[in-house]
């Protein structure tokens, strides 16, 4: 009995101690809750801060920023004048071409942004390569070359400045595209569908790699050339065929002039744009990835990746309204070859200045 009473007293004392502790805890319950909540909050911020630092130090941050630029593209993400962003696209022959830095393709592109009154649109104007630039004593297609001769990167800067002078429009960005890009992009798309408006035959299309072939003494060097032929109507073109279509310069008849060639270049560009809009292209991660790889390999530009992504959203919005033209030949005269023009075949503004050309450009962009 004595042992049982002793055990009972111990149990009672233990209960009393527990109750005493509980009363103290519940007396300061809000204090305890505050400590727990603060601890959780501090831990949460430590985790969030650590995650942010991790993202910033990895490519994840880079890709998130690009996604943000695309999803929430606004005029603050790129340069513009009013509701327009203007580009200059230059196409050069590149390695293996007899004049690798001459830009025989020059297209002024104006992107009309969406506003309350007008729908967005893309306007393309091909500029004849033979326009004479008096202050430089050079043709338009050599401006990029002379700019680079002056300083590294000067080709883009000088080309933009000269085209601004010719068109009367600001040029916000420029791209120089190696013709090899067109070939590889078209092949990666599985070819393009082009409607040939005017048939032509060119018996003097140069064969790459045979520029110095003596052709066994043939005075005409015919072994250096091949014959290319295009019939009127729809044609499925691979990269090599499309390249011949846009670069042919010795075609018989009117298709042998520079303005006809510029028009053919626009047909191919529109065909590429149409192919890029198809769902099967964007649904293939490998195709999109390969296109990005080709662009970074063959394109020189002053557009940074984030700006390029933001602008791509604007181009997608305008893709249903594309207008293209070539500067009309009647705005120019072709003077006789003389020392005044270094004995070159050139286009000179008919009125002696670029004023009429600027009016034409302004009118085209206003439609």
Task: Quick: pLDDT tens for 43-83.
Answer: 555 555 554 555 455 555 566 666 676 777 777 888 999 88
Query: What radius of gyration do the chain's Cα atoms show?
Result: 33
205: left (phi over 0), alpha (psi -120 to 50) or beta: beta
342: left (phi over 0), alpha (psi -120 to 50) or beta: left
- 259-290 b/e (C-beta count within 10 Å ≥ 16 → b): bbbbbbbbbbbbbbeebbeeeeeeeeeebeee
Determine the Cα angle at 180 with ends 179 and 183, to 5°: 100
Q: Which pLDDT value is given to residue 13?
A: 65
d(C-alpha 143, C-alpha 136), whole Å: 8
Of residues 205, 279, 208, 216, the one with CA closest to residue 245: 205
Q: Which residues contact 210 (CB under 8 A, 6 or more apart)?
A: 223, 224
Determine the topology of domain 67-366 in CATH: Aminopeptidase (3.40.630)
Q: Which residues of the chain have pLDDT under 70?
A: 1-67, 69, 94-99
d(C-alpha 118, C-alpha 344), whole Å: 43
Look up the pTM and report it.
0.75
Q: What is the pLDDT of residues 192-204, one digit of tens each?
A: 999 999 999 999 8
């Amino acid at each position: 009995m004595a042992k049982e009473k002793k055990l009972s007293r111990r149990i009672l004392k233990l209960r009393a101690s527990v109750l005493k502790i509980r009363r103290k805890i519940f007396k300061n319950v809000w204090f305890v809750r505050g400590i727990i909540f603060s601890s959780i909050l501090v831990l949460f911020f430590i985790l969030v801060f650590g995650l942010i630092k991790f993202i910033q130090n990895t490519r994840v941050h880079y890709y998130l920023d690009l996604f943000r630029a695309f999803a929430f593209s606004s005029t603050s993400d790129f340069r513009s004048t009013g509701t327009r962003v203007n580009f200059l696209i230059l196409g050069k022959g590149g390695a293996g071409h007899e004049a690798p830095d001459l830009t025989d393709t020059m297209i002024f592109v104006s992107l009309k942004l969406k506003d309350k009154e007008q729908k967005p649109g893309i306007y393309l104007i091909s500029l004849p390569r033979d326009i004479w630039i008096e202050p430089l004593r050079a043709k338009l297609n050599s401006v990029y070359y002379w700019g680079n001769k002056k300083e590294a990167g000067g080709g883009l800067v000088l080309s933009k400045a000269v085209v601004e002078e010719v068109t009367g429009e600001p040029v916000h960005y420029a791209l120089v595209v190696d013709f090899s890009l067109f070939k590889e992009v078209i092949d990666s798309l599985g070819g393009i569908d082009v409607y040939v408006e005017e048939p032509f035959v060119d018996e003097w299309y140069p064969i790459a790699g045979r520029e110095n072939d003596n052709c066994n003494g043939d005075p005409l060097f015919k072994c250096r050339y091949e014959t290319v032929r295009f019939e009127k109507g729809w044609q499925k073109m691979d990269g090599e065929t499309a390249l011949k279509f846009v670069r042919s310069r010795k075609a018989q008849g009117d298709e042998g002039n520079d303005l006809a060639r510029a028009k053919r270049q626009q047909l191919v560009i529109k065909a590429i744009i149409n192919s890029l809009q198809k769902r099967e292209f964007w649904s293939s991660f490998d195709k999109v990835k390969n296109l990005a790889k080709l662009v970074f390999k063959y394109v020189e530009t002053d557009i940074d990746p984030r700006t390029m992504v933001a602008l791509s959203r604007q181009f997608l919005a305008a893709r249903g309204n594309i207008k293209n033209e070539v500067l009309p030949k009647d705005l120019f005269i072709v003077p006789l070859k003389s020392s005044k023009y270094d004995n070159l075949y050139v286009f000179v503004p008919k009125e002696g200045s670029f004023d009429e050309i600027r009016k034409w450009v302004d009118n085209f962009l206003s439609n």
